[in-house]
Structure formats: structure tokens, C-alpha cells
Amino acid sequence: MDSISFSSLSPYYHLIFTALAFIASSVVFLLSRKSKSKVVNLPPGPPGWPVVGNLFQVARSGKPFFQYVRDLLPKYGPIFTLRMGTRTMIIISSAELAYEALIEKGQVFSSRPRENPTRTIFSCDKFTVNAAVYGPVWRSLRRNMVQGMLSTSRLREFRDVRDVAMDKLVARLKSEAEANNGAVWVLSNARFAVFCILLSMCFGVEMDEKMIEKIDQMMKTVLITVDPRIDDFLPILSPFFPKQRKRVTEVRKEQIEGLVPLIEKRRAVLKNPGLEPNSVSFSYLDTLFDLKIEGRKSGPTTAEIVTLCSEFVNGGTDTTGTAIEWAIARMIENPDIQSRLYDEIRSTVGDRKVNERDAEKMVYLNAVVKELLRKHPPTYFSLTHAVIEPAKLAGYDIPTDTNVEFFLPGISDDPKLWTNPEKFNPDRFITGGEDADITGVKGVKMMPFGVGRRICPGLGMATTHVNLMIARMVQEFEWSAYPENSKVDFSEKLEFTVVMKNTLRAKVEPRV
Ligand code: HEM
């Protein structure tokens, strides 16, 4: 999801652009000083340079953005400002302020800021659920995604797809382990399993593994391409990035060319079901073919359909895969948690294969997953919010053109809300009396899916996937460290989501 990484900028790169930006922006600053009249009372924040603000401090710190922010919390508290070139960011990291903004003042705080030029191209000018401003287009798209695909009854219809994907996951892990002395890569396998489910739900047509891998590769290229560049924060520098801008157009073309055949295939299957008797009876694409959008005469264009499908598949792939990687890491670190989970599975289903209905009922599994999402929210920031009109929060001004960011670990690691927040302890939700409403309606204590009007519409599906995958993976295998007896390294790194810095490789022992 939305991430800020300056990893691609080498120190050499920094120097050139620091100098250029400083000269150029100082000129702009001097020219624009006269026109500034109204004083806006923004939250405090670290002092920056004229116009470029804190941009180069962040870039040169060498830290991932989430770490930079985490390090500022003790000094600047639950609401502070970072000026990133022409973008002003207000970072919120307390439960009270998140509740006030997203629940109490949700009507005002539920929009999205303007996009940078790259994202404008890939989002078809904000024609996606996640990027649309708060208004009729967003309402139409979100309603369609939720009612068409993500409601409880719709979700049920895709049980078979999930079952097949889980069987394939187990088979892949088994053969990878056999070929590698018992060792398997966790993230890539989990990611691939969920990707297959989402592709099938989205396009409804059969694909072989080669095709799936090709689409996966293309989607990853898109994610890399939309990663913010320095000229997104300082548009004055955009003439220095002609190659990158050309690349954006090429990648968008590749994305359209890659997905249009799937769209056409589904159209053909809908007209003539005999073409593919095994295809799923219903898909996200089907809802888009005849979608009515408030305030628009025509339905989505083919380019817009490509964008909406990509959103559906991307929204749930890396996020879910990341959650599974951290889950297995925690299970290896805490063998007692793993065996309690295994015992719960055994006592619930005996020798039969655990399914998602069983998983829903398992108290301990649900506590493990909740603790997982508290301790390791797959994204450390919710998607960027914006206000629809000038607003106030904690006595400060929130102007319309600012990026309002919610730093999630600031809430879920807050010692005022949690006992020993650093400890991974699922029991806090069972015997510890520390419940938390993940939707935030009854109060915010953790918000891995955001809260309020923009809460992740995939919450139900995502928890189904995470619960089911963990249950199957623990039922089939005993997980331990690889190399044997090594300690799991819990360092994090930003890669669209916050994944393990050293990608987890684990040892699996089939249970039977
Ligand atoms: C563990 C898995 C997932 C996590 C942790 C997650 C997390 C999030 C977060 C933090 C947001 C931002 C909320 C905000 O703006 O305040 C979000 C939004 C969104 N998510 Fe998810 N998500 C997950 C899975 C999914 C899945 C499976 C889908 C759909 C297939 C999905 C689709 C979306 C969409 C469309 C939005 C934008 C909502 C809007 O702007 O109205 N997500 N998600």
C-alpha cells in the first residue's frame, strides 16, 4: 500500500539534488514570500529548510520513513508536522486523536489528498476505491466492491477457491522442503497462495502457474514504478526525471496489455460459458462490466477496469503475505504458542482437514491473529487521509491540502493502552482482559485496517485468509528455525508493506 521509501536514492544522488533543490526552491521561496498572508497554526515539528522542508533530512537519514517517524515520537508527541517539499504531512500517532479524526470527525477526515503524476496515471485520475476523494465516485466504487465481492455471503461463494489454493500451498511447501533439507521460504509461498485466490476472484478465468507468475511480475513492476520519487515532493525537479516519466508510460502500457486479454476472455466466457466449464461462476470483473457510477453517464472504460482489478488484487496480496511471515516467525520464537494452536486444531477437527468455518470458532487462533495484527500491522501507516474542508485537531489547524497520516504502531504499541506492549502475548485477549474492537467503533486501541469510513473493506476476507492459512500451515507442519537453533531476527524493512528485514526461511516437519 502507500509507502514512502527513498531507498533508490544513493548518497551521490542526494548531493546533486540537495544542491539543485536548494537553489531552485530558495528562489521560489523568495518570490512567494510576499503572497503569504494568513498564518496557519500547524502542529509543531522538526525545523526544516526553506521550501524543501524536512525532505532531505528524511532522505539522508538512511532510515526507512517509519523509523524516522518513530524516532521523532518521543520529542514531538502524538501529532506533528513534517514538511516534505511541497507536501505538508501531519502525522498522528495516538488512539484518542485517531478516534477524534476518523470516527467523531469522520465526515471531514475521510478524503484523500491529490495524487502525484505517476499515481494519477495508474489510478486513472483517482478512479479507485482507495484513491477516490470522499464523494459520489468513491461511494459507487466502494459499494460495488463490498456488496459485489466482500460481503459475508459473497465471500462464502469463494470457499472452493480458497480450499484449492490452500491445498496447493501445502503441496508447494512439501516439495520445496523435500528439495531443500526441510527449509522453505515463508513470504513468497504465502504471498503466492493469496495472489492465486485474489486473481481467481477478480478475473474468474483459469490460469496456469506460468501466467500467474507473469502477472505477479507485472504487478510488482507497477508497485515499484508508483513508489514516490523526489520530484513528487519537489515538482520543480521533474525535468530531471525524463527517463523515469517515460518508464511510467511504458509500465502502464504493459499493465493494460497484460490484463486486457483476461478481461476479454472473461467477457467471452460470460457470453458462452461452454468455453470454460471450470471457471468460477462469479468474479469482480463481472461487477465492473455493468457498473453504474453516481454522477457519470458511462460505465468504466477498459483502462479503468484494469486499474480497478489491479487495486483488488494488490490490496490483499502483500498485506496478507506479510502477516503470515510475521505469524510464522512468532510461532518459531514461541513453540508453546505453536503447540497450543496445534492442540486447538486437533481438538476442534480431529484428523480431518481444518477449514475456514472451524477457524472462525477457534478462540486461541483468533487471539493469535489479533495479537499478530497488533504487533505487526502489515502497513505502518494507513493510507493517506485528507480533510474535505479546513479542520481542527488537538487545537491545531488541518488545512485541506495536507497529507494526514496515521502511524499505526504508535497506537498498538502504546504502553498507556497495553500491558507489556512489546511482548507477543495472544493471551492478553483471552485471560488478560485486554479486548480491542478492531473496527474502532467502540474506541481505538489498534487499527491495522484503519477505522471509520475508509476502513479496509477487505477486513473480513483478509482475516479469513490469515486465519485459514495459519491453521492449515500449523496443522500440516511443525515450524522451527532454519538453520536449526538460530534466533529469529525481528528487524523490519519497508517493501510496500513492513516485512522482515531478513526474509524468513523456516524448517518444516510434516506432522504425519
Ligand atoms: C491483512 C490484510 C490487509 C490489511 C492489513 C489492510 C490494511 C488496510 C489499511 C490500513 C487501509 C487504509 C485505511 C484508511 O485509509 O484509513 C486499507 C484500505 C483498503 N484496503 Fe486493505 N488491508 C488488507 C487486505 C485487503 C484486501 C484483502 C482487500 C481487497 C481485496 C483490501 C482492499 C482495500 C481497499 C480497496 C482499501 C481502500 C478503502 C477506501 O479508501 O475506502 N485490503 N487496507
Atom of ligand 1 nearest to the CA of 384: 15
Cis check: omega of the bond before 483, within 30 degrees of 0: yes
Residue 388 within a domain:
yes
Which residue, judged by its Cα, is nearest atom 18 of ligand 1?
456
Residue 3 within a domain:
no
Is residue 395 scored above 50 in pLDDT? Answer: yes
DSSP state of 353: P
155 lines ligand 1 (CB under 6 A): no
pTM over 0.85: yes
444 lines ligand 1 (CB under 6 A): no
Average pLDDT, the chain: 92
Which residue, judged by its Cα, is nearest atom 8 of ligand 1?
449
Do 319 and 497 contact (CB within 8 A), yes or no?
Answer: yes
pLDDT at 51: 87
Which residue, judged by its Cα, is nearest atom 29 of ligand 1?
458
Distance CA 415, CA 402 (A): 29
Give the cell for residue 23.
537553489
Residue 406 within a domain:
yes
Distance CA 280, CA 285 (A): 12
Which residue, judged by its Cα, is nearest atom 13 of ligand 1?
450
Residue 60 within a domain:
yes
Binding residues for heme: 456
Distance CA 65, CA 299 (A): 38
410 lines ligand 1 (CB under 6 A): no
Distance CA 381, CA 81 (A): 15
Distance CA 260, CA 166 (A): 28
Is residue 7 scored above 90 in pLDDT? Answer: no
Give the cell for residue 140.
459507487
Enumerate residues 6+ apart whose C-beta is below 8 A from 313. 195, 198, 199, 202, 219
462 lines ligand 1 (CB under 6 A): yes
450 lines ligand 1 (CB under 6 A): yes
Distance CA 24, CA 193 (A): 48
3-state secondary structure of 431: coil
3-state secondary structure of 88: strand
pLDDT at 1: 37
Burial (CB < 10 A; 0-12, 13-18, 19+), residue 60, is middle
**pLDDT tens digits along 176-187:** 999 999 999 999
CA angle 389, 96, 70 (to 5 degrees): 95
**pLDDT tens digits along 111-137:** 999 999 999 999 999 999 999 999 999
Residue 250 within a domain:
yes
pLDDT at 49: 95
Distance CA 275, CA 82 (A): 55
Do 96 and 61 contact (CB within 8 A), yes or no?
Answer: no
Distance CA 102, CA 439 (A): 11
3-state secondary structure of 214: helix
Give the cell for residue 93.
500517532
Predicted confidence band at 24 (pLDDT cuts at 50, 70, 90)? low
Is residue 2 scored above 50 in pLDDT? Answer: no
Instruction: Look up the CATH number of the domain holding residue 386.
Output: 1.10.630.10
437: CA distance to ligand 1 center in Å? Answer: 17
pLDDT at 14: 47
Q: What does the radius of gyration of the chain's CA atoms come to, in whole angstroms?
A: 23
Is residue 16 scored above 70 in pLDDT? Answer: no
379 lines ligand 1 (CB under 6 A): yes
Predicted confidence band at 511 (pLDDT cuts at 50, 70, 90)? very high
Predicted confidence band at 35 (pLDDT cuts at 50, 70, 90)? very low
| Domain interval for residue 231 | 11-510
Distance CA 210, CA 197 (A): 15
459: CA distance to ligand 1 center in Å? Answer: 7
pLDDT at 279: 79
1: CA distance to ligand 1 center in Å? Answer: 8
What is the count of structural domains for the chain?
Answer: 1
274: CA distance to ligand 1 center in Å? Answer: 35
Is residue 6 scored above 50 in pLDDT? Answer: no
pLDDT at 3: 44
Which residue, judged by its Cα, is nearest atom 23 of ligand 1?
316
Residue 1 within a domain:
no
Residue 417 within a domain:
yes
When pLDDT is averaged across residues 293-311 and rounded to a whole number, the result is 95
Burial 116-125 (b: 16+ CB within 10 A, else e): bebbebbbbe
Of residues 47 and 4, more confidence is placed in 47
Atom of ligand 1 nearest to the CA of 497: 5
Q: Which of 406, 456, 463, 468 should be mutated for ligand 1, with most atoms under 8 A from CB?
A: 456
Q: What is the phi-psi region of residue 500: left when phi exceeds 0, alpha when psi lies from -120 to 50, beta otherwise?
A: beta
Could you tell me which of 464, 475, 469 has the C-alpha nearest to residue 352? 475
Residue 206 within a domain:
yes
